A and B are shown apart, each in its own frame.
Chain A
Amino acid sequence: MRNILLFISLFLLSACMVTPNIQPSAKVDLTDLQPLPTPSISETPLRVAVAAVISPKGTVESYSGLVNYLGEKTGRPVELVQRRTYMEVNDLLETSEVDLAFVCTSAYIAGQRDFGMELLAAPQVDGGTVYYSYLIVPMESQVRSMAHLKGKVFALTDPISLTGRAYPTTLVTQLGATPETFFKRTFFTYSHDEAIYAVANGLADGAGVDSLIYDYALSRDPALSGKVKIIHISPSFGIPPVVVNPNLRPQIKIELQNLLLDMSNDPVGRDALTAIGVEKFVIINDSSYESVRSLLDGIPLLFGLP
């Protein structure tokens, strides 16, 4: 009798031991729905757009130093704005939704032509303000020129990218073909680092990429150097500039320009510059982009540019 009682109590005890201890930390009523409050903005922020040269997260990581520096120097909150395509950033500049933007060279040429996008400064890399388009293929590839890429898969970056689309298109045109018929298949990666990874991983047989991004990416991820190789380097192009929207107040424009030009003299500024792989910012003239302008004029239909 006593044994049975003992058995039963042990049984119940073991059952109790597995009882999960559920303690709700709060009580909410999910049926009580109320309108959301409109977010209050205390101060108009300085809005800085960065074209999707590299992936959105990479952009945030690289540019946060610069953003913080600008915020600290201007005393205004700075908002980093990103969009999927270059054209979207151009649209934001045209409608004055961003004040300052890091754009691609071709995007500047289109913006300057369409709504008078203004140059503010240019980054100096390796002592110059030029960059190139690299034609890259996987390391083990037998391809040695664009001609060998016929019937292969080609990764394009942005629809209006100079180094990622316009220059490779020029190369194909010179071979007497169009990308649509020359390649088996093309696709957009919307950023240069994604295009490098697409080639490194064998997703694409070749791609045209921004030399600045390529060098930067290889320095960040040395493993990449064993996976991709450059088979062709374009002539030099004017470096992607820093621009402002044409409606920005001149005082602010001057203030921002001075801030950027001064950055290399400030320790914090130098760190921020290093983070984006730039030595310093310099003044640049529109004439630096003439060669690009003429190249793009050769393939207007491709870009659908007005």
Chain B
Amino acid sequence: MSQNLLHRFWNIISSVSVRAKILGMALMLILLLGAGVTWQVLHSLTYIVQSQLENESITSARDLAARAADPILLNDLVRLQRLLVETQQNNPDVRYAFILDKNGDILVHTFGAGFPPDLLTANDAGSSEHHHTIILQTNNELIWDTAVPIFNERAGTVRLGLSDARLRNAVQSLTIQLALMIAFVSALGILVATFLTFLLTRPVRELVSATQAVAKGDFSPRLARWADDEFGDLAEAFNAMTTELGNTNEIRQEREELRRQLLEKVIATQEDERRRIARELHDSTSQNLTSLMVGLKNLQDSCSEPNIENQAESLRRVAAQTLEEVHDISMRLRPRILDDLGLAAAMEQLTREWQARHKLPVDLVIHIGQERLPGEIETAIYRIVQESLTNAARYSGARSVSVLVERRGEQVIAIVEDDGRGFAPSLSPNERHLGLAGMRERAELLDGKLTIESWPGAGTSIHVQIPISASSLEEIKGNL
């Protein structure tokens, strides 16, 4: 129960802002201290005042009794009355005083006309008593009533009542003064706490915004050291951390750049090498094979020996097949048409040959205009589509494939879709094997994006998007 209450209390406290916490703390402290001090002061004061009243009541009554003895014995009522009047004049707290003779009848009193009937019997002192004090409650005040026997009660009894009204008023005005003081100090406390809160929360707010900037990759914000305290230390630690993070990030970016350049170089080198080999195969090997075939044809025609003629014919067919194969290899390594006529022609040739080889229908759509695209983009798109088609043929068991290459503004988009068995892209352990990683790397080298949409039984769709940078466009125009 109390645990629960404490928990709820803690929830409330922890949910408010630091500003409210500090303000609340300051106010709570001031109010608690103020209330405590006021309580303590008032109680001590009341206690002192009350014992003071009691003492004063006894002293005054004793004094009056001593001075009243002779006038009573001499029956000097005028002097007796004057004694009472003087007593009351000298001490404003004296509410009343009266003197009884030894028979208990009132000799003189300070009430003027009439006498409160209950008062007479309210207090009494024995003849041997020093005094007898009681507290009386009247309509609006407390009275310390002291009875003192005069001359061992042989002359009578003095009764004197001291009111606490005046002293209670003093205590009340002190209470008001204390309350005003507390209010003033509270106001001051709020001001000070507000200032303190501002001092404390400003570095925290700055820290929060700097942290958010760092989260977004901006390592530049530096915090000022406002004060030489824990917050100052925190700011310095934060600054050291962002500097370190910034340096690390720079190194990482440099490495990334290096890797990228390396990859570019590898791919470029690979392309160049393929191009060289393909040209070599086409120019030299194909020419030689063609010459060989022409020689074999001549040999066949000029020879009448049927045995040799058959052999020459057979060799000529082998040479023709080899020529075909060389052409094929050359084509696959680097279609010359891509360099000479551009992406559209190369794509058409690629799909045509792929169709012929795999006996599968390919639906090719190309919208890239008459303008040539930058060489590296053409190569990348060509290679990605080539790899996709290879995959489709090799793994998917598709019945048809569609290829779309399109230029949309400053972007080139290529989509290869098949209706094969598909796969779960995230679950694919052999992505690297499938060559998908290579495809993605090619796209990303050119700041492009490659997405694979595939699901078991739902076919595969490969979507490539490569931006055409302004500088590369300029380059193209310059070449033309």
Contacts and interface: CB of A to CB of B under 8 A. Distances in A.
Contact of A29 (B47, B74, B116, B154): B116
Contacts of B47: 18-20
A31 interface: yes
A60 B154 contact: yes
Contacts of B122: 25-26, 28
Contacts of A15: 36, 39-40, 43
Contacts of B173: none
B36 A31 contact: no
Interface in A17-39: 18-20, 22-36, 39
A20 B114 contact: no
B114 A33 contact: yes
Interface string B80-105: 00000000000000011000000101
A8 B28 CA distance: 12
Given A28-B136, A30-B96, A81 B111 contact: no
A28 B75 contact: no
A29 B105 CA distance: 20
A28 B118 contact: yes
B397 to A, nearest CB: 72
Nearest to B154: A60
Interface in B1-56: 6, 32, 36, 39-40, 43-44, 46-47, 50-51
A82 B74 contact: yes
Nearest to A88: B74
B205 to A, nearest CB: 28
A19 B43 contact: yes
Contacts of B116: 28-34
B106 interface: yes
A33 B134 contact: no
A60 B152 CA distance: 11
Contact of B134 (A1, A11, A25): A25
Interface string A34-46: 1110010000000
Given A29-B118, A32-B116, A83-B75, A23 B46 contact: no
Contacts of A22: 50, 135, 142
Nearest to A50: B73
B7 to A, nearest CB: 12
A57 interface: yes
A60 B73 contact: yes
B139 A24 contact: no
Contact of B70 (A12, A29, A39, A57): A57
B138 interface: yes
Nearest to B155: A60
A258 interface: no
Contacts of B138: 27-30
B44 A18 contact: yes
A56 interface: yes
B70 A55 contact: yes
B369 interface: no
B306 interface: no
B108 to A, nearest CB: 11
What secondary structure prevails in chain A residues at the interface with B? loop
B136 A81 contact: no
Nearest to A81: B75
A24 B135 contact: yes
Contacts of B69: 56-57
A64 interface: yes
Nearest to B112: A33
Contacts of A14: 40
Contacts of A27: 118, 136-138
Given A15-B36, A82-B75, A57 B151 contact: yes
Given A39-B105, A59-B73, A82-B73, A34 B137 contact: no
A34 B40 contact: no
Nearest to A23: B135
Interface in A45-78: 52, 55-57, 59-60, 64
A203 B195 CA distance: 76
A84 interface: yes
B154 A24 contact: no
Contacts of A57: 69-70, 73, 151
B76 interface: yes
A57 B156 CA distance: 13
A56 B73 contact: yes
Given A15-B40, A20-B46, A64-B154, A32 B74 contact: no
Contact of B151 (A25, A26, A34, A60): A60
Interface string B103-137: 10110000111111111001000000000001111
B111 A33 contact: yes
A24 B74 contact: no
Contacts of B119: 28, 30
Contacts of B151: 57, 60
Contact of B76 (A20, A28, A84): A84
A6 to B, nearest CB: 14
29 contacts: A1-B6, A15-B36, A19-B43, A20-B46, A20-B47, A20-B51, A22-B50, A24-B142, A25-B135, A26-B118, A28-B119, A28-B138, A30-B111, A30-B116, A33-B111, A33-B115, A33-B116, A34-B117, A35-B114, A36-B114, A55-B70, A56-B69, A56-B70, A57-B70, A57-B73, A57-B151, A59-B73, A60-B73, A83-B75
Given A20-B43, A32-B118, A34-B117, 8 more contacts: A24-B137, A25-B136, A27-B118, A30-B139, A36-B114, A39-B105, A56-B70, A57-B151
Cβ-closest 7 pairs across A and B = A33-B114, A24-B137, A56-B73, A39-B105, A28-B118, A27-B137, A20-B47
